[in-house]
Chains A and B, each alone.
Chain A
Amino acid sequence: MFKSLINYLVIFFLVIFSLNLFGKDNKKREKNMDKMTKITIKIDRIFKSNEIDYQRVIKIGKQLKKLGIEFPSYSKPDSEVGRSKKSMWTERELFLKMNQDFVDAVEGFIVAASTENKEETWAKFKVAFEECQKCHHKFARAKINLLED
């Protein structure tokens, strides 16, 4: 009985969560961004562990690249600002360029991971991470200053 109650609760939360995401562009964008953030944490931790599984790194890298490619499609002209700055729409060309730079940097990371060279792969991860930060600085709202544009 307890088990089935837990199952019902999990299904209930998943349904509520899915309804919350349905149709809202900014929610999808934030979900996509949260996934990308999680992947960067995953990669960082893999490199902090003693043994690096490069096949796993490549698989995760490909997921990151896919999320990066999809990202601009969740910021249509009519979408809500959410956690983004208005500059995501007003400086569209720059946003798309920076997003592409990130995707290219992730591709470089995947290529480096396939050589199984730890230093090289880590260096390429740092390049991709730099691209993340640049983009965040330009287009994401600061967490403690939600009044900014």
Chain B
Amino acid sequence: MQIKLKGNQNSWGLVAIFSHWIIAFLLLIQFTSGIRLSTMNFSYSKLELIDFHQSIGSVIMIFVFFRIIWRFYNSKPFNRELPNYHLKLSKITHLVLYFLLFSVPLLGLLYNWLSDMDIIIFGLITVPNIIIFENEDLADILIEIHFYLAIFFIFIVIVHFFAALYHLIIIKDRYKIFYRMRFKSIK
């Protein structure tokens, strides 16, 4: 059996499928921890959760960076039968998703760096601060934007999720949208 790393007309390929589902899983953790953080009172558990949230965010950023590079290299399936408005909607949603996937963690990263706070991924790797100046006021503005963009992000992910469910349940995956993102499709 040959495993298809790259995509074709019937599948996104192993690399894209794996990164899609791993990012989806990490985002679920990230949204949950983010919402929990915004409601938590000051405690040592909060500090621990901030570190965890920041570590997951760093891992998401690495995956997204890798996924964007792979997207240019990968052969993508094209839906010829898909109605035009579906194509347009999907394109817009995906563009917004990629923008948020990259900008939300980046804002978190900049907040830490501008506040002169070390970024330690899972207590193992310290990410060097590449910003030489400190600006707490700017950092506070960026973290506010991070918060509101994250709320918008949750909304867009819900739209994406329900669009996938629509394809799977309502129109019985007529255009194989869901199938192409399943591991089954790589065989």
Using a CB–CB cutoff of 8 Å, the interface residues on chain A facing chain B are 10, 13-14, 17-18, 34-35, 37-38, 40-42, 44-46, 48-50, 129, 132-133, 136, 140, 142-144
Contacts and interface: CB of A to CB of B under 8 A. Distances in A.
B168 to A, nearest CB: 36
Contact of A13 (B43, B115, B141): B141
Contacts of B137: 14, 17-18
B84 interface: no
Interface stretch (B2-10, B25-33, B34-42, B60-68): B34-42
A142 B41 contact: yes
A82 to B, nearest CB: 15
Interface residues of B, number: 22
A34 B140 contact: yes
B117 interface: yes
Contacts of A45: 51, 117-118, 120
B11 to A, nearest CB: 39
A49 B118 contact: yes
Contacts of A133: 42-43
A14 B138 contact: yes
A129 B48 CA distance: 14
Interface string B82-102: 000000000000000000000
